[in-house]
A and B are shown apart, each in its own frame.
Chain A
């Protein structure tokens, strides 16, 4: 192309056509993702809607497809979510507060923690499963129980909670900090009464997204042994348990067509749960996010 010899304001037809073709390709790139998403919804809905009923949600898993349901996996997933929230949010926010408000960024160990967290966020989830198997199930001898599952998922999503919380804390302007300190607040008083309230929307959004990641995870739970057929609800932290993704995986890998339809119905329930959480997180962000 001879850009040098061109008169200002007039692009040649050929350039305009190439430009449009390029833009078309870019839009196609975006569409590939969204089209797959829509096809996936259609595929799952077509397979699973017929199976979805109150009976399906309230029955326990069974080897007979006609009587099988998802009560224990659904209860397991909800319990996992609550436990992971209880563990991961306080630890994650605490770590974020340390890194943003206390840590001296020129110290090598603080920089090491930072790089370490970025790295952990990208470690394959199945490796966390190996960690849980080696230390929680065998090392601490917890066995293949709900608590081991919750702790494994906590470690898995902790980096996400930390990174999101740090961004929320960093977004609070320094003038707020300086104002509080100038009025004689101690550092913790400043954090507790000024920084945290201002950062809560961001922290909540990040935490909900992290939780939705946690309840969609399958691989780590397979390794710590949630695959077993569990026709009862977990009653305590040391109960055997199963979860929705595990049940979906189990049904998907069976050769009988009937079980695939059950898997699709369970996927609808899981996606419904996740999309509700995501929508809530996005709503929260848009409603409460403050621009300083």
Chain B
């Protein structure tokens, strides 16, 4: 680009503006550093009092009772259970919706399908939580499932609908980026639309699709309000979806609501659990960003 023509004199105003804009961009870096410091410092203090091994492998989480116990496994299992049920909804149906939008829908349908999905993605999670508790759980009881009032299944299923638009939209982007020539080649060889979609487009866009799955799972792991409202507050090691569980996020929210004295060991638990949550989602987000970059490199 030919933008390197130098000015006749130094322009200090211009340099100042550049600096100010750079400072704006630096806010994001400061935020990340802030998050890491905010989580790490109290966590280190926490692990001085509670051995790391005991925290990671202990199966009893009762920090607010005497005698207290700090095994994070119940919260991890609670998170995995709700996330699993969210995936059973979001992964297949999110991918299905994406294939439809990218391969089957005409340009007019596409124009309103995407904004409509955005509306679904814009519903606050506290509203989804209300819906899970007051509509989905009673429905599950009506069809004869032995669910408790608070249960992992209802929260998980609703969470699946919540992350469905994320997966559908990102997978659609990946499939739209697959060059037309690949499809035309397949059609030319006599393939049907079903074959083109499932054997050409989906494999070609696989890294983008997997990226959307990983990001969706990361969002399910980090989601707070739906599980805090509908999944309960019982840290137990159970994969039974009919029972109440407590996720990592729901525990942090529970302590946030209560009046735990600042600086106490109980107070530091939210930072330790928060750090665990942050680490887990960070790894997934990095994987997802890598994968998206991969398909962009191939097709764009």
Contacts and interface: CB of A to CB of B under 8 A. Distances in A.
Interface of A: 1, 3, 6, 8, 11, 15, 18-19, 22-23, 25-30, 32-34, 36-37, 39-40, 43-44, 47, 90-95, 97-99, 101-103, 112-113, 115-120, 122-131, 133-135, 138, 155, 158-159, 162, 174, 177-178, 181, 186-188, 209, 212-213, 216-219, 222-223, 225, 227, 245, 248-249, 252-253, 260, 263-264, 267, 270-271, 274-275, 278, 282
Contacts of B270: 130, 223
B20 interface: yes
B252 A102 contact: no
Contacts of A129: 252, 256
B25 A113 contact: yes
Interface string B8-35: 0001011001101111111111011011
A3 B195 CA distance: 10
A99 B89 CA distance: 37
B257 A219 contact: no
Given A181-B3, A253-B229, A271-B127, A43 B135 contact: yes
18 contacts: A19-B194, A29-B92, A29-B96, A30-B113, A33-B117, A36-B161, A37-B120, A95-B27, A98-B24, A117-B28, A119-B32, A123-B285, A131-B35, A131-B38, A186-B7, A216-B127, A219-B249, A227-B256
A5 B225 CA distance: 56
Tell me what chain A mostly uses at the interface: helix, strand, loop, or mixed: helix
Nearest to B119: A278
Tell me what chain B mostly uses at the interface: helix, strand, loop, or mixed: helix
Given A91-B24, A120-B31, A125-B222, A223 B256 contact: yes
Given A116-B29, A158-B28, A186-B14, A26 B191 contact: no
Contact of A119 (B34, B228, B249, B285): B285
B89 to A, nearest CB: 7
A263 B130 contact: yes
Contacts of B262: 138
A28 B131 CA distance: 21
Given A131-B34, A252-B129, A99 B25 contact: yes
A270 B224 contact: no
A113 B29 CA distance: 7
A210 B13 CA distance: 31
B2 interface: yes
A222 to B, nearest CB: 5
Given A32-B161, A99-B25, A278 B122 contact: yes
B271 A130 contact: yes
A159 B256 contact: no
B164 to A, nearest CB: 5
Interface stretch (B48-56, B97-105, B176-184): B97-105
A167 to B, nearest CB: 13
Contact of A126 (B20, B126, B253): B253
B47 interface: no
Given A37-B123, A138-B262, A271-B123, A123 B97 contact: no
A131 B282 CA distance: 16
Contacts of A27: 100
Interface of B: 1-3, 5, 7, 11, 13-14, 17-18, 20-29, 31-32, 34-35, 38-39, 42, 89, 92-97, 99-101, 104, 113, 115-120, 122-131, 133-135, 158, 161, 164-165, 168, 189-195, 197-198, 215, 218-219, 221-225, 228-229, 249, 252-253, 256-257, 262, 270-271, 274, 277-278, 281-282, 285-286, 288-289
Give 4 nearest A-B pairs by CB, closest first: A124-B222, A29-B96, A94-B24, A216-B124
A116 B19 CA distance: 19
B38 to A, nearest CB: 4
A119 B286 contact: yes
Contacts of B116: 34
Contacts of B288: 122
A178 B96 contact: no
A27 B224 CA distance: 30
Contacts of A40: 123, 127-128, 131, 135
Nearest to B270: A130
Nearest to B224: A219
A159 B28 contact: yes
Nearest to A122: B285
Contacts of A223: 252-253, 256, 270
A19 B193 contact: yes
Contacts of A98: 18, 21-22, 24-25
Contacts of A253: 229
Nearest to A43: B135
Given A43-B131, A134-B42, A158-B27, A11 B192 contact: yes
Contacts of A248: 126-127, 130
Nearest to A48: B130
B192 A116 contact: no
